[in-house]
Structure formats: C-alpha cells, structure tokens
Amino acid sequence: MTDAALDAPALPKRRSRLRATLARDRKAQMGLIVLALFVIGAVFAPWLSPGDPNDMSMDMMSGLSWAHPLGTDDLGRDLLSRILHGTQVSLFIGVSTVLIALVIGVTLGLIAGYFGGWIDLVIMRYIDLQWAFPNFIIAVYLVAVFGTGLLNVIVAISLAFIDDFARVARSMTLSLREEQYVDAARTLGFSDLRILFIHILPNATAPIIVQATVSISYAILGEASLSFLGLGVDADTPTWGLILADGRGFISQAWWLGVFPGLAIMLVVLSINFIGDWLRDALDVRQSI
C-alpha cells in the first residue's frame, strides 16, 4: 500500500467541507475578496501607483484629487503610491516570517512529540521559556540586538512565533503517534523521518493552517508596530507603520495621513482574521487565540 492511499479519503472530504462552509460564511467571502484586492495591489504596485512612492514634490499635503487619489504627505509624496508599496512589504513580511516560524516550529514540535524523553524535555524547556513572553516584546528585543533592516525584522518576527507552532505540532504529534497507522508504518520498518513527515505531519495540518493564518495577522500588526516605533525596515522603504509615524505630526492639517495607512492595515488584518475564523470552523479546530 502506498502512503498516499492512507491519506486519500480525508482530503476530498476536507475540500468539500471548505467549499460548503465558505458558501455560508459572508465574512470569509468578504475577507477573501479584500485580501485578493490587496495582493493584486501589491503585485501590480509599480503600475497602479500614480507616482514613485519616494518622489517628493512641491504639492505638499494636498487633499484627495485625481492626481493624488489619497492625497500627499508633508514632503509632497503620493500617499496611494506609498500605501501600495507598503502593501508589498507588509504582505511579504507577514507571509515570510510565518513560513520561517512554521518550518522551524513545526519541525521542533514534531521531533519533541515523536521522540519524547530528553529531546522533548530540552526542546520544551526552551519553548516554555519563550512562551512565557509576549511575542511582540521578543521581537522588539531581537531588533534591539540585531539592529533594524528588512532581514533583521524578518528574523526577529519569525523567531518570536516559533513557540506557537512548536506547541501546536507537538500536541498533534503526541496524539497521532498512538494511531494505528503509525504503528503499522513502524512495523513495516519505515524510518522515523518518513513516519514523521509523511504519516504524522499531513494529518496534523488543520491546526497548523489555522495557527499560521492567525500568526500572519499578528505578524503584519507586529511589523507595522515596529516600523511605527522606528524599529522597522528602514527610513526609505515605505511601510504602513512608517507612513503613519511620518504623518503623525501633520494629522491636524492632513487627516488622510492618519486615516488611510491605518485603514489599510486594519482591512488586511480583518480579512485574514475572517479567513482564519472560517478555516477554524471548516477544519474543525478547537478555539484558541
């Protein structure tokens, strides 16, 4: 029997359940559409932008117009162009940090849960220690240590999320390793690595997917907060947090500087939260935060 045959029955059921629940879930439909629009905006940012995001002009703090649909900032830079380019950074950081955290965290969790004993003890001691801290504080401290910049921000946010994935993967592994098909695989003499990644992992994906979705929204909020505090990517890359920080002093004259970048963050995070909620329901994952 092939490994694929073992998993085969579960997958079509899951897919149809996803489709069925989505048809009923207005919020998730809205979330998917809004998120898709932002993704399109990010991918085609260079073509959709009215101008270069960093081009200054004498047209300072001008209100909403055809030339500048969302107005301009104190240096005459076009706000829409800056927000579109900021979308690229936010989505890229949100997805890449969660992917890195997922790969490291899930691997640690699988190993800890499967092998148990001292390996579990060592890994979990570390995970518990990290778990004792707010993710954002960990990220702030890591940026303090590594310095600012795109790569450092990605490293900081990814490391901060590792514990969440490790915990989810470990608890799934602990229950799955008692399953008969794992026993069967062991009896057939399959290697531990093969059992872990081909037999256990595919059956543990539901809670991992839900955790990943939630984490992306927190990662985007985290990056925006870091940028807002001056601990983000760098002063030349327009990110949502930085645009808000730059515009803060001019809000009384130019409300759009305070409203639109924040609105962009909120819409994306809200969409992802709606999608996460739908996935949690559809994949039947127990409520957690």
Partner 1 sequence: MSVFLIRRLFGAIVVMWAVATLVFFMLRIVPGDPIAAMLADAGGPDEIAAMRAKLGLDQSMLVQYFKWFALMLEGDLGTSLYGSHQPVTQIILEALPRTLSLALIAFVIAVAIAVPAGIISATRRNTATDTAVSFAAFLGLSMPDFWLAILLIIVFAANLQWLPAIGYVPLSEGFWPWLKHLILPAIAVGTAFSAIIARMIRSALLEVLKADYMRTAAAKGLTGRKMMLGHALPNAMIPVITVIGIAFALLISGAVVVENVFAIKGLGRVLIEGILNRDYPVVQGAVLIVSAFFVLSNLLVDLLYGVIDPRIRYS
Residues that bind partner 1 (CB under 8 A): 27, 129, 132-137, 140-141, 143-147, 217, 221, 224-225, 228-231, 241, 244, 248, 251-252, 255, 258-259, 261-262, 265-266, 269-270, 273-274, 277, 287, 289
Q: How far is the CB of 7 from partner 1 (least distance, A)?
A: 31
Which residue lies nearer to partner 1 by CB, 34 or 39?
34
Q: How far is the CB of 262 from partner 1 (least distance, A)?
A: 3
Which residue lies nearer to partner 1 by CB, 44 or 141?
141
Q: Classify burial at 76, counting beta carbons within 10 Å of its beta carbon; exposed 0-12, middle 13-18, buried 19 or more.
A: middle
Q: How far is the CB of 109 from partner 1 (least distance, A)?
A: 18
Which residue lies nearer to partner 1 by CB, 58 or 145?
145
Q: How far is the CB of 174 from partner 1 (least distance, A)?
A: 20
Residue with tokens 């329901």: 281
Which residue lies nearer to partner 1 by CB, 173 or 217?
217
Question: Residue 233: helix, strand or coil by DSSP?
Answer: coil
Q: How far is the CB of 66 from partner 1 (least distance, A)?
A: 26
Which residue lies nearer to partner 1 by CB, 148 or 200?
148
Closest CA to 162 of 204, 74, 102, 210: 102
Question: Residue 72: helix, strand or coil by DSSP?
Answer: strand
Give yes or no for a contact between 27 and 274, defined as CB atoms under 8 angstroms apart: yes
Which residue lies nearer to partner 1 by CB, 238 or 241?
241
Closest CA to 136 of 74, 224, 204, 198: 224
Query: How many Cα atoms within 13 Å fall on the side-chain side of residue 274?
Result: 19
Q: Quick one: tokens of 196?
A: 């872990």
Give yes or no for a contact between 188 and 243, defined as CB atoms under 8 angstroms apart: no
What Cα–Cα distance (Å) separates residue 215 from each residue in 36, 99, 119?
18, 10, 26
Question: Residue 112: helix, strand or coil by DSSP?
Answer: helix
Bridge partners for 276 per DSSP: none
Which residue lies nearer to partner 1 by CB, 78 or 223?
223
Q: How far is the CB of 229 from partner 1 (least distance, A)?
A: 5
Q: Quick one: tokens of 45?
A: 């940012």
Q: How far is the CB of 257 from partner 1 (least distance, A)?
A: 10
